A and B are shown apart, each in its own frame.
Chain A
Amino acid sequence: GNSVTQMEGPVTLSEEAFLTINCTYTATGYPSLFWYVQYPGEGLQLLLKATKADDKGSNKGFEATYRKETTSFHLEKGSVQVSDSAVYFCALNPITGGGNKLTFGTGTQLKVEL
């Protein structure tokens, strides 16, 4: 079946530090990959996505590259801010354009301190 594995948190960084949150997946075919962010007490917001191998999704300084050879979609940001503190979820949709169900990782909490 489909699955998403994320690094366990919490991840605590100082402001302006470099961020990497690892995500690997298992799926048949060519899934679409997503990163969602959840701020305290709120629902999920789509952060970025990639729909095919070697695509790079980017938004708000965050980036992730769809690596089919390593089945990975690691999230990176060069300089984090306190406002980036949130829980980040990696997810996959197994069928591009087919609207199938999302499979989520367990989430990684990020805490950014001054």
Chain B
Amino acid sequence: GAVVSQHPSRVICKSGTSVKIECRSLDFQATTMFWYRQFPKKSLMLMATSNEGSKATYEQGVEKDKFLINHASLTLSTLTVTSAHPEDSSFYICSARGIITQETYEQYFGPGTRLTVT
């Protein structure tokens, strides 16, 4: 149980285009989803927190107009990188938290999406 999927796993796009990444909780309802960015040999940087049906809360320094987050249902959140540039190339990871067991604070992570902007 508690499986989170991401799609696509890898994507290559041209500079100036937009890319959408999906994050799904497969066997539980995710009341909250988190989006992280990971740079090579670095830790995870939290980009934003999204709650189902409300606007995402972005971390300081993250451009909300560039990284659009939608959490339209209890099992799906999307991250859209708009007008992508090479510096947006990174590994994007989502996690989901929901009512699974009594341990409601635990986050379950997706496998990540490798974005390369050429």
Contacts and interface: CB of A to CB of B under 8 A. Distances in A.
Nearest to A87: B41
Interface stretch (B14-22, B63-71, B76-84, B102-110): B102-110
Nearest to B92: A43
A85 interface: no
A93 B97 CA distance: 13
B105 A95 contact: yes
B44 A42 contact: no
A98 interface: yes
Size range of the chain B interface in the assembly: 20 to 34
A19 B111 CA distance: 26
Nearest to A102: B107
A75 to B, nearest CB: 16
Nearest to A99: B105
Interface secondary structure of A, over-half rule: loop
Contacts of B42: 106-107
Interface of chain B, main secondary structure: strand
B78 to A, nearest CB: 17
Interface string B10-47: 00000000000000000000001010000001111010
A89 B43 contact: yes
A74 B107 CA distance: 21
A73 interface: no
Interface string A84-114: 0000010001011111111011110100000
A99 B44 contact: no
A51 to B, nearest CB: 8
Given A32-B105, A96-B105, A107-B43, A42 B111 contact: yes
13 contacts: A36-B109, A41-B114, A44-B109, A45-B109, A89-B44, A99-B32, A99-B97, A99-B104, A101-B34, A102-B46, A102-B95, A102-B107, A107-B43
8 closest A-B pairs by CB: A44-B109, A43-B111, A43-B112, A43-B109, A106-B43, A99-B105, A104-B43, A104-B44
Interface of B: 4, 6, 32, 34, 41-44, 46, 49, 93, 95, 97, 103-112, 114
